[in-house]
Structure 1
């Protein structure tokens, strides 16, 4: 059975989040002997908006060893903005499937339940989206301002993003001397780039437990850790901010291996970005975690400085924008999966599943048996 559906309206709380989505428009580094090598040639990285790209993203789940009733939840793109259009989706499955909305967070998902006697449970979800590059025009003022209730919502703490205690203390220290929200965001961005680092050994995209990171002074992680820290520090000093959870769908047009995905197999291509709301500018894209990724993994040597000619253009452009070879699923935290027996999710960026043995490991796609791929539609 194949079913096609398009984005729809939901209740008032859901509409509140959708309204927000439409606007989407130290030394903590470990002691490491950074290898010194010939300085790389400076590379261009300057995404410019203007050209929309269309992708079909397909997620296929096959439950290899079903145990009892099996439940699967797949994220569906729910962001519509001046840099992404979430279009129709379709699915096929031998289970009972339905579209679900987490009205408290704005996340959309496909929920599938398989009977315990189903020998080979499967579901395949295909979503069509359009993306474009994003770059902030700092000389142009935003035409529409967010309302106070929306902005307050994006300064509130979540389970993994507290805004008091060590988080607020760190944020106040990082933003010392800043007079405007733009200056606060810049100082926090620079603090993340200087004091945190990409840790390839972290599983998946990390957990985003920023309080533990700061308390243990273990500031190594991946995108869901480092960008969550950026968002939490912004919220702690009253700057509205949010994580944006998604997936790299194509290689980078600028030649950066680590800033793109292999469209044929997007295993491990999940990537979290961030946004801040800045007065006079609206929602602005940020990604200090990708700066750390280029520093750590783009070359065999761990690059020490963000002024390195390979890193500098990335560091500059990701304060205010990103490349459109990536799509967003949602901006959701503390997601409750319908009919789940396991705990809520800190964020919803990976396929999730449960059976009689418990929650499957979303960070182990080979064991979980899911594949994600993308196809660009041209012409």
Structure 2
């Protein structure tokens, strides 16, 4: 995250904290119309889908040498398989990684005299719904050194001070790691809120959120807060950065993407490691998104008929209409002259004038689309 973004984020958080204190939530008349309606959101693993995801970038106003980094899907698990990528460009191309987390990316360098820099990257992935069977625990095994790695602090995820104090208060009375994770998940859902005015997916500066008392943000803020709280009490956890690819099969418009145009469809999720279940899917941020944006009015309660199925399912499940790029924090871009990133989920470009704004796809022109190629 750049110093400018950090300063802007802190100023925004402080202003929003004051506004949040002064404003009251709107009344929920929608609840009266939906209280008797049965809503379903219960992703179950078992059916794979294949997608072809295309990112096209045009640099409209090149200045000097232009450098570009595009995230590529580099996660291979029992819920996603990365099937390779192809690309074309009038620049010099190289597949590289961040060198620490294994986050793959396409690096493109355009010559100073290239008037119309362009690149197109196409990646293929297989995805499926993900769910945990809470009724059948098993002896999960992963190297302890690897697990310790996912409890360490990062630049944006400190694990001491106010972060640890908050987590310890939240998990009071919990004895098992499942109970601790549930209490932290519930704490995030109850105490934070989706703030649509935040740029992109947010920055994930969780200490500032807690210190200012402004707990509004988007997925990279709220899921990062969950991850940081987990790490601070010894639960291995990580953010998973990716992209929504298709509409939700359960009818929730906020939990899917428009495959033809995926600008703004970036979404990060979270995982926590539980001793008797292994790595488990989590997404408290999407619960708050449904509460804030699924209906015209802000739903206050996670027990609301529309929200409750999502709140229950996203503790342990997520839908396979989404593709993971990586789990990388504190990303150093190869060949970059700019500051490191908190995470790599958007196209990134730099030229002689500095780093372009990844959150402005119409100015830093890029388009992302997905095509279901399952058949």
Tell me the TM-score range normalised by the shorter chain: over 0.9
RMSD over equivalenced CA pairs, Å: 1.1
Superposition deviation, residue 43 in structure 1: 1.1
Superposed counterparts of 1:250-289, under 5 Å = 250-289=246-285
1:189 & 1:63 partners in 2: Cα distance? 41
Which structure 1 segments of 5+ residues have no match? 1-27
1:372 & 1:338 partners in 2: Cα distance? 23
**CA offsets per residue over residues 34-61 of structure 1, 9 Å max, x none?**
2231241231101111000000000000
**Paired positions, count:** 352
Superposition deviation, residue 145 in structure 1: 0.6
**CA offsets per residue over residues 215-264 of structure 1, 9 Å max, x none?**
00010000000000000000000000000000000000100000000000
Superposition deviation, residue 143 in structure 1: 5.3
Which of the residues 231, 237, 240 maps onto 1:235? 231
**CA offsets per residue over residues 200-223 of structure 1, 9 Å max, x none?**
000000000000000000100000
Q: Given the alignment of the two structures, is residue 95 of structure 1 paired with residue 87 of structure 2, yes or no?
A: no
Q: Given the alignment of the two structures, is residue 116 of structure 1 paired with residue 108 of structure 2, yes or no?
A: no
TM-score if structure 1 supplies the norm length?
A: 0.91
1:82 & 1:105 partners in 2: Cα distance? 19
Q: Which runs of 4+ in 1 moved over 6 A?
A: none
Which of the residues 221, 231, 253 maps onto 2:217? 221
Q: Given the alignment of the two structures, is residue 353 of structure 1 paired with residue 314 of structure 2, yes or no?
A: no
- Kept in 2, the 8 Å contact 1:29–1:196? The answer is no
Superposed counterparts of 1:38-187, under 5 Å = 38-40=32-34, 41-142=37-138, 144-187=140-183
2:341 & 2:154 partners in 1: Cα distance? 11
Report what 1:295 is aligned to.
291
Superposition deviation, residue 91 in structure 1: 0.2
Superposition deviation, residue 139 in structure 1: 1.9
2:145 & 2:138 partners in 1: Cα distance? 18
Give secondary structure in 2 for the equivalent of 1:183: helix
2:158 & 2:304 partners in 1: Cα distance? 33
Report what 1:207 is aligned to.
203
- Kept in 2, the 8 Å contact 1:64–1:369? The answer is yes
1:194 & 1:202 partners in 2: Cα distance? 19
1:333 & 1:84 partners in 2: Cα distance? 20
2:198 & 2:58 partners in 1: Cα distance? 26
1:144 & 1:194 partners in 2: Cα distance? 30
TM-score if structure 2 supplies the norm length?
A: 0.92
Superposition deviation, residue 83 in structure 1: 0.5
- Kept in 2, the 8 Å contact 1:99–1:109? The answer is yes
**CA offsets per residue over residues 111-150 of structure 1, 9 Å max, x none?**
0000000000001000000000011101223454111101
1:265 & 1:114 partners in 2: Cα distance? 26
Give secondary structure in 2 for the equivalent of 1:71: strand
Give secondary structure in 2 for the equivalent of 1:366: coil
Give secondary structure in 1 for the equivalent of 2:123: strand
